[in-house]
Amino acid sequence: MNSDFLRRMAEATRLTRLGDVHAATAAIREALAHQTSGDGSLGAPSTVIDVEARELPDAEPASIETERPPMPIDRGIDGSTEAFLAGTFANASAQRDYKLFAPAQDGNARLPLIVMLHGCTQNPDDFAAGTAMNQLAREQGFYVLYPAQSRRANPQGCWNWFKHNHQQRGRGEPELLAQMTREVIGLHAIDPRRVYVAGLSAGGAMAAILGDAYPDIFAAVGVHSGLAAGAASDLPGALSAMQSGASPKVGRGTAIPTIVFHGDADSTVHAKNGEHVIAASAAGAESVHLERLAGGGKRPTTRRVHIAADGRVLAEHWLVHGASHAWSGGSSAGTYTDPRGPDASAEMVRFFLEHPHGRLH
């Protein structure tokens, strides 16, 4: 991140504190227009920020403004069908579209569910293609829910993780996403003990919030290139946290199992934020197992496994060396992916299935 970009963003922060939101927004856009990627090798857009200065009422109707592609349906070996279904969920204050991958299955066995929250400028189809999560779901047998952020709720398609009214149980987007998840569980053959949430960037930050606010729904959390719950509550705080890292507020954080992926060359969301996510979930760890992973043409990675006194794994932290703001091991069919990294999707699925919820709810 160059000095000119930081200077322009500091000016945007100053204007925000003065209450001049329009001037701050203009300063942010000017900063982004002059920003260049550190390596440019991933083929992803370089001008993205996970915050948006404009405030819109939660009650404003929301929908995806892009045309839906045809819904693919394939036949399973046993004649059952798999489908990538399009749907819409609404509560009393807002609505969001979603896509749901339903695997082919025979019988009434209840399967796991992974909720996947996309990053800024992305949508469910893009995120599904980039993470290749549907392929894993097809092979291992689980549902995948992709909620879609509305461009009316945030013009860049970012989940509003940095706004104080979208960070608590029973309010804003966390409540909407929790209710959507409950409805999908009720409509399909899903095991409520094996429901998980993961996300990238703004989606990762919102996944951390959901894990903090709804540990009764989500058994484990995956945060890729995101921030800890409570890392910011307004635009200046969000800019600061993204640039240099911010620990969660005192009293935030739960013991919900968490897996974190973050690139140490990420110039959009500082890698320190991954450490803060881990700190919020692994406070009770008695030991840390350290591994250095390399080879196979993949980026070198440091993996830290945080273990409780009784042997339970509380958290895993995958620091991918040389990686920028992109989904590790993802497919070039989607945006913000780094095919050279270790497979974050496969590792998150493995971690999730090792952590079913301890009780029915």
pLDDT digits (tens, 9 = 90+) for 304-353: 999 999 999 999 999 999 999 999 999 999 999 999 999 999 999 999 99
Over the stretch 52-88, which tens digit does the pLDDT of each residue have?
A: 434 344 433 333 333 333 344 443 444 468 999 999 9
Phi, psi (degrees; rounded to nearest 5) at 28:
-65, -45
Residue 148 sits in a domain whose CATH number is 3.40.50.1820
Q: Do the domain assignments include residue 67?
A: no
Q: At 274, list the tokens.
A: 């991954």
Over the stretch 220-265, which tens digit does the pLDDT of each residue have?
A: 999 999 999 999 988 888 989 999 887 666 444 457 999 999 999 9
- Separation of CA 8 from chain center: 27
Q: Determine the pLDDT at residue 255.
A: 76
Domain span including residue 121:
77-353
pTM given for the model:
0.82
Mean pLDDT for 100-119 is 93
Q: Determine the pLDDT at residue 32.
A: 55
Q: Determine the pLDDT at residue 245.
A: 85
Q: Do the domain assignments include residue 35?
A: no
Burial class (CB in 10 A: 0-12, 13-18, 19+), 23: middle
Over the stretch 159-212, which tens digit does the pLDDT of each residue have?
A: 999 999 999 999 999 999 999 999 999 999 999 999 999 999 999 999 999 999
Q: Determine the pLDDT at residue 76.
A: 41
Q: Do the domain assignments include residue 142?
A: yes
DSSP output for 211-252: HHH-TTT-SEEEEES---TTS-SSHHHHHHHHHH--PPPTT-
Q: At 47, list the tokens.
A: 């001008």
Q: Provide the mean pLDDT of the chain.
A: 83
Q: Do the domain assignments include residue 51?
A: no
Q: Determine the pLDDT at residue 6.
A: 60
Q: Do the domain assignments include residue 38?
A: no
Q: Do the domain assignments include residue 239?
A: yes
Q: Do the domain assignments include residue 187?
A: yes
Q: Do the domain assignments include residue 62?
A: no
Number of domains observed in the structure of the chain: 1
